[in-house]
A and B are shown apart, each in its own frame.
Chain A
Amino acid sequence: DAGVIQSPRHEVTEMGQEVTLRCKPISGHDYLFWYRQTMMRGLELLIYFNNNVPIDDSGMPEDRFSAKMPNASFSTLKIQPSEPRDSAVYFCASSLDSRTGELFFGEGSRLTVL
């Protein structure tokens, strides 16, 4: 298996623009997580899905952020409009069963908002 695939790896955009980050989880994994990593706040859970259904989005910072999982093999995280404080590395992770705890992470999408 190719592992969790994220795109783009790097994104530089201007404030106010829409940003879409993409994730392909490992086939057969029922859970998908979006995390944001910054120096100040560390690794924060934004939202997670179980069987394509959003279970907990309490970590989503504000209404500018939205996430979807239209099918088992694809998820998006969208920021509209983007702001400089959104600059971070965004990780997608998938898990066969979150209760066994092994999250498989993608390589991350580094977002810079100017």
Chain B
Amino acid sequence: AQSVTQLDSQVPVFEEAPVELRCNYSSSVSVYLFWYVQYPNQGLQLLLKYLSGSTLVKGINGFEAEFNKSQTSFHLRKPSVHISDTAEYFCAVEDMDRDDKIIFGKGTRLHILP
């Protein structure tokens, strides 16, 4: 079964500094990959997704992610974070060749330090 690993449960970073949130998935078969963001007391919102094509995907709020098939990774990056980026970030994967289930990682809480 497909699984998603987010290596860091929490990431503290200073405001205006760059950040990378790591995500690895279990299988090298064809997959769709996603990053979602959850602000406090809200549901998840889609940040960006990789379906095919360019391995560098740009999303909302200045975030981007790079799909690396050989390393089965899909790390999320932002060159300069703001206090408003404080949230929990979830990586998710869907196996293209199997069912329609979207499996989420356990999340990474991003703490922006002043």
Contacts and interface: CB of A to CB of B under 8 A. Distances in A.
Interface centre among B42, B51, B94, B102 (most CB of A within 10 A): B102
A98 B102 contact: yes
A98 to B, nearest CB: 4
Interface in B55-109: 90, 92, 94, 96, 99-107
Interface in A1-51: 4, 31, 33, 35, 41-43, 45, 48, 50
Interface residues of B, number: 24
B44 interface: yes
Q: Is the interface of A mostly helix, strand, loop or mixed?
A: strand
B101 A93 contact: no
Interface stretch (A67-75, A79-87, A103-111): A103-111
Contacts of A55: 99-100
Interface of A: 4, 31, 33, 35, 41-43, 45, 48, 50, 55-56, 91, 93, 98-103, 105-108
Given A43-B90, A99-B94, A56 B44 contact: no
21 contacts: A4-B43, A41-B106, A42-B105, A42-B107, A43-B90, A43-B104, A43-B106, A45-B104, A48-B100, A55-B99, A56-B101, A91-B43, A91-B44, A98-B100, A99-B32, A99-B94, A100-B51, A101-B51, A103-B102, A105-B45, A107-B42
